Structure 1
Amino acid sequence: MAVRRRSAQTPEVILEAAEALIRREGAARLTIDAVAAEAGLSKGGVMHHFASRDALIAAMVRHQFGRMDAEMRAIEAGLPPSRVAPLVAMIRHARAHYGREDGFPKALLVASAENPKALDDFRGKITGTLGEIDGPGAPGAPSVLFFAALGLLLTKSLGFFAYGEAEVGALLDAMEAMAGRTDEG
């Protein structure tokens, strides 16, 4: 591959290359050399932006989390205000991403095994969302539905199980209806 010129977009190119590499070949192939080859950059070009594999993983998590958080906030902004709006946003996010190759960011899965501290923002988002949807006291139905939606994405991404389009659509429809009833009660 031809080496690309350095630009303001280079970190984005590197992150996209690393994510593509993980999706296609798995976490074991995530090396600075492999990412450089995937991005069409020199190893030094990658290391200029990400000094180590851990730094690259942490940046991938921030990148994926930022994208996911922005998508969920945009969905929530289009919903009527309610206690379960963040839950409905999660369910709709799951619907939008379930059939896609990037359904659940592989970078988050890699980080959970290799750089757990990189997931602090993601953990904080989950904790904050659960606090919003359940309120004070013991977790209830909204938390169950939140983890069900998250679980759908994880089980498909890990290759444990995948529903067909019609089945997952019906399941997510039922979850969204349950979320609405939870807010009413």
Structure 2
Amino acid sequence: MSKRDTILKSAETLIRREGSQQLTLDRVAERAQVSKGGLLYHFPSKEELVAGLVARTIEYFDRDLATAKAELPDRPGRNTLAFVLASLEGRWAQDAGLSPERLDVFASAIAAASTDMKLVEPMREAYARWQALLEHDGIDPITATIVRLAVDGLWFTEMFGFDDAICTGERRAQIMTRLKEMCTAEPQSTSKRKSRRGKA
């Protein structure tokens, strides 16, 4: 692991264990076992450290998304299904969505929101890019958006431990099956045309 990655990992661990209020350059340097000057070489300010956390979050998810997409056949709904898999069955979804890597994402979001909202802007831009992929995926864009929102909801439910009955076991498997089925749904206009022909 590079020194830069060690610093980011240490910052994430600090936030996760002690809260975002404890995110200071001195504390991160201590946990990463680097000098203050060594930390400042990579991240000259706390804001740049938080920006690094957010950027790594986006990078990790983009990597999971590309991996999932590469393993799927080229057909309508491919991007939407890849989003489901990357979010809920990818690197961050190990151990029922509670892997250390997945918690790093949570740490990044907390750090960004608690310091300066403009640092969240890259995440907003990334979500806009992911949403565009889903809306132009060959399936009904509203269905694709509903899938994304459901994925986000399950992701946060697992993250905060709101409902273990939903997030584990048979119920989670049923939800995953339904989401995957929705990713292969035909565009609404096509379905309506077929329905009209059937009535005729």
| Interval of TM-score (by shorter of Structure 1 and Structure 2) | 0.7 to 0.9
Structure 1, unaligned stretches of length 5 or more?
1-7
Identity rate, percent: 24
Deviation of residue 29 (structure 1)?
Answer: 1.5
Residues 14 and 23 in structure 2, CA contact (< 8 A), matched pair in contact too:
yes
Which residue is equivalent to 1:124?
A: 125
Deviation of residue 56 (structure 1)?
Answer: 0.3
Runs (4+) of structure 1 moved beyond 4 Å?
182-185
Deviation of residue 131 (structure 1)?
Answer: 2.2
Deviation of residue 86 (structure 1)?
Answer: 1.8
Q: How does 1:28-177 map to 2 (within 5 A)?
A: 28-96=21-89, 97=93, 98-103=97-102, 105-106=105-106, 107-135=108-136, 139-162=141-164, 163-166=166-169, 167-177=171-181
Separation of aligned partners in 2, 1:123 and 1:84: 23
Residues 58 and 115 in structure 1, CA contact (< 8 A), matched pair in contact too:
no
* SS state at 2:102 partner: coil
Residues 57 and 115 in structure 1, CA contact (< 8 A), matched pair in contact too:
no
Q: Which has the larger radius of gyration?
A: 2
Deviation of residue 139 (structure 1)?
Answer: 4.9
Q: Which amino acid aligns with 1:109?
A: I
* Structure-2 change in CA distance of 1:25 and 1:86 (3 Å): farther
Give the aligned CA root-mean-square deviation in angstroms: 2.5
Separation of aligned partners in 1, 2:110 and 2:42: 22
* SS state at 1:181 partner: coil
Q: TM-score, normalised by structure 2?
A: 0.77
Deviation of residue 10 (structure 1)?
Answer: 1.1
* SS state at 2:184 partner: helix
* SS state at 2:185 partner: helix
Once the two structures are superposed, what CA deviation does each residue of 1:103-128 show, in whole Å capped at 9, x if it has no partner?
35020232134233333333223222
* Structure-2 change in CA distance of 1:161 and 1:46 (3 Å): farther
Residues 90 and 146 in structure 1, CA contact (< 8 A), matched pair in contact too:
yes
Separation of aligned partners in 2, 1:44 and 1:63: 22
Q: How many residues align?
A: 177
Deviation of residue 171 (structure 1)?
Answer: 1.1
Separation of aligned partners in 1, 2:175 and 2:153: 12
